[in-house]
Amino acid sequence: MKTQVLISGAGPVGSVAGYILARQGIDVVVAEAAPECPRDLRASTFHPPTIEMLDELGVVDLLFDQGLKAPIYQYRDRSTDEVFSFDLSELADVTAHPYRVQCEQWKLARHLTGLLAQQDNARLLFNHRVVHFTEDSAGVNVALETPYGIDHYQADYLIAADGANSIVRKWLGVEFSGFTYPERFLCLSTKLALEAHFEDLAYVNYVSDPQEWVVLLRVPSLWRVLVPSRDEESDEWLLSEEKKNRVFDGLVGEGAQVRTEHRTIYRVHQRVANTYRVGRVLLAGDAAHLNNPLGGMGMNSGIHDAWDLCHKLIEILRDGAPESLLDLYDRQRRTVMHRYVQAQTIANKQAMEARDADEQARQREQMRRTLADDALRRDFLLRQSLFTSLEDAAAVA
């Protein structure tokens, strides 16, 4: 069976990539290992440039219908009770969408795969796992494991959007350079109205604390509470009632009364593939890079990869543009991944976990200065929402 582009993985990145290509008449196969788009509680923040892209794809109403607009996000300091509020409405001259939207990533993936299934030039294959591929002068030959046997496809290009453990990246032997944090992150979700316990709580809050920082994120039906583990804490302890009680004792008191809907442990990495292109195989999203979730940049930057890569592939496949555009994709997206997403998420984490009193005071002073100064504040808003990374990527030759 033949196709122009085969995409492994129908997470947010693979489904956006598939939909961009299908809308432009490219023949595309999206192969997803799972029986449906996994419904896990991972990304929930969509930044303004990503919302713009989804608007251009005609699917932004999904975010508005099933998500929450969040123009304001806050940094809170538990030791001084200071609240630093940043308001994206200030970027109304830059974007038609000056807010984040809080919406679970699986809602987007499921919506897009639903639309893909209706396109004549798209084939959406659940229960199809990419297990092997080879490349020759005719294209990429991909083996897909199905419940009934192995299917073979020949594609002009293969996009690996198969997530952090990408089998495609591993087969290519591409190094995934970087590091893994020693601590894990524990994510607890609850229907408890946290806003009743904090004054003026925004939908997105990064709370620094020398003992235990915490992120409070609202999605339509839940609050999500993200805390780091300590070295000595076992998985069993992290998922226990006692641990849950302690986390909520510290947040709202009477932790034992709080019911959680999910408890999940994540290992957190800062890693970037040494190349995003090997011949006709391209890496995008978590298959290409991983970062901590402080700032909500992983899925967003992955969707930006898909946007950039697919528009280049359309130029190549439809308009006969040279394949060297794919090297440009690698240079542009990898450069800004290092320069912005990696640098910013590492800095975000360091700021939240600072233990030294002088360092904490310096962080607070920096926040005050940023908020008080129009130019610094605007620069901060543009960087954190990834506008600056997109502008810089376009400038990479």
Ligand X SMILES: Cc1cc2nc3c(=O)[nH]c(=O)nc-3n(C[C@H](O)[C@H](O)[C@H](O)COP(=O)(O)OP(=O)(O)OC[C@H]3O[C@@H](n4cnc5c(N)ncnc54)[C@H](O)[C@@H]3O)c2cc1C
Question: 251 or 360, CB closer to ligand X?
Answer: 251
Q: Interacting stretch for ligand X, rule CB under 6 A, among 31-39, 113-121, 170-178, 371-379?
A: 31-39
- When asked if residue 10 is in the footprint of ligand X (CB under 6 A), the reply is yes
CA R_g for the chain: 21
- When asked if residue 272 is in the footprint of ligand X (CB under 6 A), the reply is no
**Buried/exposed code over 183-217 (b: 16+ C-beta within 10 A; e: otherwise):** ebbbbbbbebebeeebeebbbbbbbbbeeebbbbb
- When asked if residue 317 is in the footprint of ligand X (CB under 6 A), the reply is no
Name the pairing type of β-strands 149-160 and 281-283: parallel
Residue labelled with tokens 């509020």? 85
- When asked if residue 32 is in the footprint of ligand X (CB under 6 A), the reply is yes
Q: Contacting ligand X (CB under 6 A), which of 297, 346, 352, 382?
A: 297
Q: Where are the beta strands (DSSP E) in 210-366?
A: 214-219, 222-228, 260-273, 277-278, 281-283, 289-290
- When asked if residue 155 is in the footprint of ligand X (CB under 6 A), the reply is no
- When asked if residue 98 is in the footprint of ligand X (CB under 6 A), the reply is no
Distance CA 48, CA 53 (A): 9
Q: How many CA atoms lie within 13 A of 313 on its CB side?
A: 31
Question: 301 or 360, CB closer to ligand X?
Answer: 301
- When asked if residue 285 is in the footprint of ligand X (CB under 6 A), the reply is yes
Distance CA 74, CA 192 (A): 20
- When asked if residue 228 is in the footprint of ligand X (CB under 6 A), the reply is no
- When asked if residue 225 is in the footprint of ligand X (CB under 6 A), the reply is no
The minimum distance between CB 356 and ligand X, in angstroms, equals: 27
DSSP per-residue string spanning 166-226: -HHHHHHT--EEEEEEEEEEEEEEE-S-GGGTSTT--SEEEEE-SS--EEEEEETTEEEEE
Q: Contacting ligand X (CB under 6 A), which of 3, 8, 229, 260?
A: 8
Question: 139 or 163, CB closer to ligand X?
Answer: 163
Q: Contacting ligand X (CB under 6 A), which of 3, 5, 6, 12?
A: 12
Compose the 162-181 pattern: x for residues touching ligand X by CB under 6 A, - for all others: xx---x--------------
The neighbouring-strand residues paired with 134 are 141
Question: 332 or 360, CB closer to ligand X?
Answer: 332
For residues 369, 373, 374, 377, the Cα torsion angle rounded to the nearest 10 degrees is -10
- When asked if residue 302 is in the footprint of ligand X (CB under 6 A), the reply is yes
Question: 267 or 368, CB closer to ligand X?
Answer: 267
Supply 120's token pair: 């004549």
Q: Give the interface with ligand X as residue ranges (CB under 6 A).
A: 8-14, 31-34, 38, 42-45, 105, 129-130, 161-163, 167, 187, 266, 285-286, 293, 296-300, 302
